Amino acid sequence: MKHLISLLDYSAEEIEQILAIAAALKSKLKSGKRPALLKRRILVQIFEKPSLRTRISFEAAMMQLGGSSVFLAAKDAGLNGRESLADVARVLSGYADVVAMRTFSQQLIGDFAGYARCPVINALSDELHPCQALADIFTMREVFGKTDGKRIVYVGDGNNVAASLAIISGHLGIGITVCTPKGYELKPAFVKDLKQRFPKLKLSTSHDPKKAVADADVIYTDVWASMGQEGEADERKQVFSPFQVNRHLMELAPAGCKFMHCLPAKRGGEVTDEVIDGPNSIAFPQAENRMHLAKGLLTWLLRGPQILERLQD
- Known catalytic residues? 102, 129, 132, 222, 262, 290
Q: Do the beta carbons of residue 47 and residue 71 sit within 8 Å?
A: yes
DSSP 267: B
Nearest-5° Cα angle at 84, 80 to 86: 125
Q: In 3D, which of 298, 233, 209, 309 has the Cα closest to residue 22? A: 298
Q: Do the beta carbons of residue 10 and residue 197 sit within 8 Å?
A: no
Burial (0-12, 13-18, 19+ Cβ within 10 Å), 157: buried
- Give the integer Cα–Cα distance in Å for 157 and 246: 16
- Give the integer Cα–Cα distance in Å for 139 and 137: 5
In the three-class reduction of DSSP (H, G, I as helix; E, B as strand; rest coil), residue 301 is classed as: helix
H or E segment to which residue 290 belongs: helix 283-303
- Give the integer Cα–Cα distance in Å for 259 and 221: 8
Quote the crossing angle between the two packed helices 130-144 and 12-30, to the nearest 10°: 60
- Give the integer Cα–Cα distance in Å for 276 and 81: 41
Q: Could you give the maximum distance between any two Cα atoms of the chain, in Å?
A: 55
CA 115 to chain centre: 24
